[in-house]
Amino acid sequence: MTTNREVFIGIDNGVTGSIGIITPEQILYIPTPTITVQDYTKRKKTINRINFNITKFILARACDRKTMVLLERPMINPDRFNQSIIAARAYEATLIIVEELGISHDWIDSRKWQKLFFPEEIIGTGTKMLKLYSNSVGKRLFPDVDIGNLDDYDGLLIAEYCRRLYG
């Protein structure tokens, strides 16, 4: 599929996720902006949520009419109920931002984009092995990108998948 897209954004869903942005001029890779807030459940605790305003600001500055966003679907697993709720909440906040900005977007399952970059026997093996391959492939494809304190290149690899699919 060939389009006239010029800006490609990959969003690794979640409060520990990342946003990869590929434009003709630059490659950006940032952690998903979050805020820590009080969680009003039976126990007093704090949770991380998507920082709506900062995320919207970043996406608005990066996009134009030739932008395509690829959002990773949230992990939903009844055995990991709390993590699934956090992932779904982050996904919904991000999706609302993308829709409010009127950016073209689509969804992708992690296994689908991983098939392009990782050996098939690695997909579905677990977080540690996937992070190793994400870092290996990310460093090879984007040697000039400093990922700072992020622990993988997933958002940027999703953006690259988006570029190959829609570019």
Total domain count, the chain: 1
Cα 120 to Cα 90, 114, 116, 125: the distances in Å are 28, 8, 9, 10
Specify the CATH number for the domain of residue 100. 3.30.420.10
Residue 61 domain-assigned (yes or no): yes
Judge contact between 67 and 7, C-beta under 8 A.
yes
Cα 143 to Cα 6, 27, 137: the distances in Å are 21, 11, 10
Residue 126 domain-assigned (yes or no): yes
Residue 66 domain-assigned (yes or no): yes
Residue 1 domain-assigned (yes or no): no
Cβ-Cβ contacts under 8 Å for 56 (sequence gap 6 or more): 97, 100, 101
Cβ-Cβ contacts under 8 Å for 13 (sequence gap 6 or more): 71, 72, 73, 74, 75, 87, 90, 91, 94
Residue 114 domain-assigned (yes or no): yes
For residue 139, count other CB atoms closer than 10 A to its CB.
Answer: 12
Domain of residue 29 covers 7-166
According to DSSP, the β-strands at 7-12 and 67-72 are parallel
| This prediction's pTM | 0.91
Q: How far is the first Cα of the chain from the last one, in angstroms, to the nearest whole number?
A: 8
- pLDDT reported for residue 3: 67
Residue 161 domain-assigned (yes or no): yes
- pLDDT reported for residue 63: 82
10-residue stretch averages of pLDDT, the chain, 167 residues long: 81 94 94 90 84 96 89 85 88 96 94 92 80 93 90 95 95
Residue 111 domain-assigned (yes or no): yes
- pLDDT reported for residue 126: 72
Residue 2 domain-assigned (yes or no): no
